[in-house]
Amino acid sequence: MTIHKEGYTTIAWTAIFFGVINLLSFYFLSFEIPLISWIIFAVTLGLFLFIISFFRIPKRALTVQENAIIAPADGKVVVIEEVQADEYFTDRRIQVSIFMSPANVHVNRNPITGEVAYSQYHKGKYLVAWNPKSSTENERHTVVYNMNGRELLVKQIAGAVAKRIINYLKPGQKVQQAEEMGFIKFGSRVDMLLPLDAKVLVKIGDMPKGGVTVVATW
């Protein structure tokens, strides 16, 4: 396991907070009320370890398969339905949504190999990620991939806790399946819009792994 580069600053500030709080606690409380001092230590240590865990990148055997659409994120499948596209596309598509809790790995990965046809950031609200309106009203970043004329849309969506979406892709960029495309900090959701002829292989409640699980084929 390694730590993602997006976590370096956050982890450093958390370490400083952990150190300062516990130095003050042990200096002022450890002799008078040691139990409180130990409780503060346990709580802040738990927070520090959670922050480190949040930015983890576990070692995985990533899936590379030409006809496969790979999960762009870890999490839980919460939506599989036919919808009318509201950005870039004008036709109907199959939407597959993956909800990412704060405990999930938050690296986002390219679901296919191809070229970035579209990459656009949108300001917005911070509704809870499982709210259907979060797809169109929350802060989000939309990417469309083109692979030999076949196009796929992936939307990174902020949630009530997530406050920063990071996306590394630019229009015209060539990308490889399962490589990093971005990161979302502290709980969020990722939507995929697939063509109607795609064969979806996951179901509601499944727990896909980003860069590993085959969500659909085409």
**DSSP assigned state of 5:** G
Residue whose token pair is 């503060």: 40
Residue 187, pLDDT > 70, answer no
What is the C-alpha to C-alpha distance for residues 131 and 37, in angstroms, rounded to an integer? 40
Strand residues in 14-111 grouped as ranges (E): 56-57, 68-70, 76-84, 92-100, 107-109
Angle at 8 between CA 5 and CA 9, to 5 degrees: 130
Tell me the average pLDDT across 24-32: 83
Pure H helices in 98-183? 134-137
Tens digits of residue pLDDT in 106-139: 899 999 999 999 999 998 766 665 555 556 667 8
pLDDT of residue 208: 97
- Cβ proximity of 74 and 208 under 8 Å: yes
Backbone angles phi, psi at 15, to 5 degrees: -65, -40
- Does 101 participate in catalysis according to the annotation? no
Q: Which amino acid is at 33?
A: I
pLDDT of residue 26: 86
pLDDT of residue 202: 97
Tell me the average pLDDT across 192-200: 96
In sequence order, what DSSP letters do the residues of 20-46 get, joined into one string?
HHHHHHHHHTTTT-HHHHHHHHHHHHH
Pick the catalytic residue from 25, 119, 135, 188.
Answer: 188
pLDDT of residue 160: 65
Instruction: Give percent above pLDDT 70 in the chain.
Output: 91
Q: What is the mean pLDDT of the chain?
A: 90
Look at residue 216 and give its three-state secondary structure.
Answer: strand
Residue 165, pLDDT > 70, answer yes
Tell me the average pLDDT across 181-191: 85
Q: Count the Cβ atoms, other than its own, within 10 Å of residue 179.
A: 13
The model's pTM is: 0.83
Tell me the average pLDDT across 85-101: 94
Residue 162, pLDDT > 60, answer no
pLDDT of residue 5: 87
Of 142, 29, 46, nearest to 95 (Cα)? 142
More confident residue, 41 or 128: 41
